[in-house]
Amino acid sequence: MDTNMPRASDSRLKLVMVGNGMAGMRTLEELLKSAPDLYDVTVFGDEPHPNYNRIMLSPVLAGEQTVEQIVLNSRDWYAQNGITLHTGKKVAKINRQARTVETDDGMKASYDRLLLATGSKPFILPVPGADLPGVIGFRDIADVDAMIRASSEHKHAVVIGGGLLGLEAANGLKLRGMDVSVVHIGAWLLERQLDEPAARLLQKNLEEKGLKFLLQKHTAELVRGESGRVCAVTFKDGETIPADLVVMAVGIRPNTELAESAGLHCHRGLVVNDTLQTFDPRIYAVGECVSHRGIAYGLVAPLFEQAKVCANHLAEHGVARYQGSLTSTKLKVTGIDLFSAGDFIGAPDTESLVFSDAAAGTYKKLVIKDNKLVGACIYGDTLDGAWYFDLLREGTDIAQFRKTLLFGQHHLGDSGHGPAERVAALPATAEICGCNGVCKGDIVKAIRDNKLFTLEDVRAYTKASASCGSCTGLVEAVLAHTVGGDYSTAPSKKPLCKCTEHSHDDVIAVIRDQKLKSMDAVFQTLEWKTPDGCASCRPALNYYLLARWPGEYVDDAQSRFINERAHGNIQKDGSFSVVPRMWGGLTNPSELRAIADVADKYQVPEVKVTGGQRIDLFGIKKEDLPAVWKDLSDAGFVSGHAYGKALRTVKTCVGSQWCRFGTQDSTGLGVKLERMTWGSWMPHKYKLAVSGCPRNCAEATIKDFGVVCVDSGYELHVGGNGGIKVRVTDLLCRVETEAEVMEYCGAFTQLYREEAHYLERTAPWVERVGLAHIKAKVVDDAEGRLALHERFIYGQQFAQIDPWKERAEGSEAREFQPIRITA
Amino acid sequence: MKDWIAITRFDDVPRQGSRVVELAHNDKLNRIAVFRTISDEVFAVLDKCPHRGGPLSEGIVHGGRVTCPLHSWKIDLATGEAVLPDKGCVRAYATKVEDGQIYLRLA
């Protein structure tokens, strides 16, 4: 069925959704984006409100936000999108044979597909008095209203349950002026989110705010007062404390009553498969009511991931799979920062790194297994939480920075932004994203005005962290701080772009394994959502195909950024700059004369020496480019590829030929390396350097591949970067001969070309896959190294064709010729 | 100025690509970008992104849109409007193709 065709309303399928909460509504929003005309949608919600942000009930209780502020979809929104909304209606029955649902007051609706998003219910302890007035859960706006009312009429509040929700309720009630005791059955608070030392710090902090704690207490009975309302709580040890309000926050249970009554298979939740389908194929389910692979999630991030997958199937695209989520936790109590993720308790086969400063109220514990982070528990300064979560999710090899891991991301030497100031304390004018000039205030405003939840949304609206990405952690921190912490982090597997669900690694593997040799083949095999991709995926696919099938895949000029299509760097006024290649940085009088002649002839406004020891001619009009290239080409120059995701330059020092310290012929080796590697396309720009001695005048240790000559041979360094985020190389190995340098260089370069993601430089790539992986392929496996090197050399025969000469001879002429008309 | 102006042959505009037309009219020079999409539709807009004036003709064409090479704004070619969340509009011109010839109308 073609879902792109508009449908007449009478031919539309009927979709009924039961449950008007965040997970269900997110599913509808995703569905409307991709198939707006497929369904007539009817929504039943048993609360009297439109969809609101349940996460923000705690700030509403604390008086920091109002109910109006947390509404996500207004009634107008439903009307504008043609959705029939019934609020205050409880669906009591599903008739699966007739495909209808019926509310408890007799309203009926028929469906072609049914989406159950009935959420969860607070678990109420089965103790005497649990049904008394004044005993409530903490789940919806009605509960918050009841608590606010109680706080103005009564004094003593008891919260049963020292978990996230319980502590947030206790904090809110305290701020409303009540005397609050938290009763907890465990030995410490938040035992599912914190280890004991961190929980003690938290407890101390909350006690300073005036909360009281009763740990390892078992509730025996809720006592009825004279008014009929609850008046006290009695424990199994006989102790009794006064209570005018009891909030049960001991957990939630998936609300599966309706599903069970319809005979749908439930086991600790309504059981769904990876496409969010229940055992009845017409019935889908998302959210807290669902049990997926035995897990019922209660946090918003996994629910939104489910929503995305479910919408994909409801839209009949049929390509997405939900494979479970890793979750992390933050507490929304103003002034208290805690973060945890993964297995932070540890096991016999794990190691722990612990930093504890009780006086400063800071505690960090990181759990490591096989050089990978598997758990984190942080109290106090949680700015690095998002970064740790990323390391955990990506399975990054941390061996290289294990020593500084505890001190956070900034200790990796990130010069892109300042020290780890607390995001919360930053003024609105503080710049978060340097690339796009986005301030904290812009981000907060965009999040509030547009009700954003995800990093991706914030990027789309503000462009913050959309360029170099080094401020991603800060943007996530602003997002977490603004929406209250329980924000949705990026999905566990990042799609290449919005045109597909598949990741870079998936695409690389499919192109290789299924021998896909054209862009159309990729679009078809992987079911691209757009007819011809977008400006993000097309250049990536063009590169992957070119790198994998040299000599077979035909480069697609229309899938290249303008710089690579026009073989020059576009400048802000639309003119171009031209950098001829100078092998190893060597030149001579006749070359310099030729460059000077070109500069004169075309009235080049500015001539500059680049950071990579080449000469840059600025301000050349696009239509003059072919003529400029012809003159340069006649003088023996080829393109310097200063505009490309390609081998840029090989920087050298003078070496043993002239320098009194030089140990080897670094200039000569640099020329040989540049002759071997020039012309090759790469995932990102790629720079080499050769230094003649450990004084390292060519700065080889901040290059993608750097050679440092020593008396006994050559040190090979990889993964350096001198850009936004300075990274010093890792030592790959030492070799003895120039021939070995050439072979290792070719092999490392090819491994990067085959495995890195498009637009990923060697520095983040080496950090992602780990130096051990690279050593295994390039150093330890001699046969594999030779094969990599040979693949590189094979590809070079198709790549080392000077694009300037081709164009000077008339190829692609219309790219450079405007059409001039006088009307 | 209601007349159709012959611009170029349809075949001289690459698919998923563009050509720039420098059109002198009433002492004014208009730089107009003419696009041909994957489905061989032809559109024309002023060659100036509403954001910072980037040359739209140098962008990557996908579907009925072009992405500006300077800061990646996406422009809908039929209307000239920026795709949300970006907001802005560039002037779009009427085009037609007859006998393999592309025509454009200024008003």
On the question of pLDDT at A91 being above 50, the answer is yes
Q: How far apart are CA A718 and CA A732, in angstroms?
A: 6
DSSP state of A494: -
- Give the pair of three-digit tokens for residue A703: 């290059």
Q: Does A574 touch chain B (CB under 8 A)?
A: yes
Distance from CA of B81 to the nearest CA of A (A): 16
Is the separation of the CB atoms in B104 and B4 below 8 Å?
Answer: yes
Q: What is the pLDDT of residues A617-637, one digit of tens each?
A: 999 998 899 999 999 999 999
Q: How far apart are CA B55 and CA B69, in angstroms?
A: 7
Q: How far apart are CA A774 and CA A704, in angstroms?
A: 13
On the question of pLDDT at A426 being above 90, the answer is no
Q: Enumerate helices (H) and strands (E) in chain A, giving the number of each.
A: 25, 37
Distance from CA of B73 to the nearest CA of A (A): 10
Residue of A790 and A347 predicted with greater confidence: A790
On the question of pLDDT at A430 being above 80, the answer is no
Q: What is the pLDDT of residues A751-762, one digit of tens each?
A: 999 999 999 999
Q: Tell me the HSE value of A465 on the side-chain side, using a 13 A CA sphere.
A: 21
Residue of A418 and A59 predicted with greater confidence: A59
Q: What is the pLDDT of residues A286-305, one digit of tens each?
A: 999 999 999 888 877 788 88
Q: Are A531 and B60 inside 8 Å of each other by CB? A: no
Q: What is the pLDDT of residues A506-515, one digit of tens each?
A: 899 999 999 9
On the question of pLDDT at A768 being above 80, the answer is yes
Cβ neighbors of A208 (< 8 A, separation 6 or more) are: none
Residue A645, pLDDT score: 94
Distance from CA of B16 to the nearest CA of A (A): 6
Residue A422, pLDDT score: 55
Residue A488, pLDDT score: 43
* Burial label, A204 (beta-carbon count in 10 A; 0-12, 13-18, 19+): exposed
Residue A611, pLDDT score: 87
Q: Are A558 and B61 inside 8 Å of each other by CB? A: yes
Question: Which residues of chain B does A450 touch, with a Cβ-Cβ cutoff of 8 Å?
Answer: 85
Residue A9, pLDDT score: 57
On the question of pLDDT at A698 being above 90, the answer is yes
E-strand ranges in A199-292 read: 212-215, 219-224, 230-235, 240-242, 245-248, 252-254, 270-272, 283-285, 290-292
Q: How far apart are CA B36 and CA B46, in angstroms?
A: 15
Question: Which residues of chain A does B31 touch, with a Cβ-Cβ cutoff of 8 Å?
Answer: 818
- Give the pair of three-digit tokens for residue A305: 């991931």
Q: What is the ipTM of this complex?
A: 0.90
Percent of all residues in chain A with a pLDDT value above 70, rounded to a whole number: 94
Q: Are B19 and A819 inside 8 Å of each other by CB? A: yes
- Give the pair of three-digit tokens for residue A746: 């070719």
DSSP state of A333: B
Per the prediction, chain A carries an average pLDDT of 88
Q: What is the pLDDT of residues A564-609, one digit of tens each?
A: 988 988 887 778 999 999 999 999 999 999 999 999 999 999 999 9
**B81 DSSP β-pair partners:** B89
User: What's the average model confidence in pLDDT over A699-712?
Assistant: 94
Which residue's structure tokens are 């956070």?
A: A408
Secondary structure class of A809 (helix, strand, coil): coil
Measured from the Cβ of residue A241, the count of other Cβ atoms closer than 10 Å reads 15
Is the separation of the CB atoms in A418 and A426 below 8 Å?
Answer: no
Q: Tell me the HSE value of A166 on the side-chain side, using a 13 A CA sphere.
A: 28
Q: How far apart are CA A504 and CA A488, in angstroms?
A: 21
Cβ neighbors of A444 (< 8 A, separation 6 or more) are: A428, A478, A482
Q: Comparing A265-274, A431-440, A553-562, which segment has the lowest mean pLDDT? A: A431-440
- Give the pair of three-digit tokens for residue A201: 């710090």
Residue A10, pLDDT score: 64
Q: How far is CA A232 from CA A129, A130, A136, A166, A227, in A?
A: 10, 12, 14, 18, 12
Residue A333, pLDDT score: 66
- Measured between CA atoms, the residue of chain A closest to residue B35 is A558
Residue of A583 and A450 predicted with greater confidence: A583
Q: How far is CA A633 from CA A636, A676, A680, A803, B97, in A?
A: 5, 20, 19, 10, 39
Q: How far is CA A244 from the centre of its chain?
A: 45
Give the pTM: 0.59
Interface of B with A in 11-40 (CB under 8 A): 12, 14-17, 19-25, 31, 34, 38-39
Residue A599, pLDDT score: 95
User: What's the average model confidence in pLDDT over A724-736?
Assistant: 89
Q: What is the pLDDT of residues A216-275, one digit of tens each?
A: 999 999 999 999 999 999 999 999 999 999 999 998 899 999 999 999 999 999 999 999
- Helical ranges in A243-299 per DSSP H: 257-261
Residues of chain B with pLDDT under 70: 1-2, 107
Residue B2, pLDDT score: 63
Percent of all residues in chain A with a pLDDT value above 90, rounded to a whole number: 57
**Residue B85, preceding bond cis, omega within 30 degrees?**
yes
Cβ neighbors of A426 (< 8 A, separation 6 or more) are: A440
Whose CA is closest to A249, among A339, A140, A329, A136? A136
Question: Which residues of chain B does A571 touch, with a Cβ-Cβ cutoff of 8 Å?
Answer: none
Q: Does A429 touch chain B (CB under 8 A)?
A: no
Distance from CA of A673 to the nearest CA of B (A): 32
Residue of A337 and A708 predicted with greater confidence: A708
Is the separation of the CB atoms in A373 and A366 below 8 Å?
Answer: yes
Distance from CA of B2 to the nearest CA of A (A): 12
Instruction: Among B7, B61, B72, select the one facing A821 at the smallest CB separation.
Output: B7
Whose CA is closest to A320, among A333, A310, A335, A330? A310
pLDDT band at residue A728 under the 50/70/90 scheme? very high
Is the separation of the CB atoms in A668 and A586 below 8 Å?
Answer: no
Secondary structure class of A548 (helix, strand, coil): helix
Q: Are B85 and A460 inside 8 Å of each other by CB? A: yes
Whose CA is closest to A584, among A657, A520, A513? A657
Region at A812 (left for phi over 0; alpha for psi -120 to 50; beta for the rest)? left
CA quadruple B49, B50, B53, B58: dihedral, nearest 10: 0
DSSP state of A528: -
Residue A271, pLDDT score: 96
Q: What is the pLDDT of residues A316-373, one digit of tens each?
A: 988 888 988 777 666 666 667 777 888 888 888 899 888 888 777 788 889 999 889 9
What is the side-by-side strand order in the sheet with A135-136?
A: A135-136, A245-248, A156-160, A179-184, A212-215
Q: Are B19 and A814 inside 8 Å of each other by CB? A: yes
**A174 DSSP β-pair partners:** none
Is the separation of the CB atoms in A104 and A112 below 8 Å?
Answer: no
Q: What is the pLDDT of residues A100-156, one digit of tens each?
A: 999 999 999 999 999 999 999 999 999 999 999 999 999 999 999 999 999 999 999
- Measured between CA atoms, the residue of chain A closest to residue B87 is A461
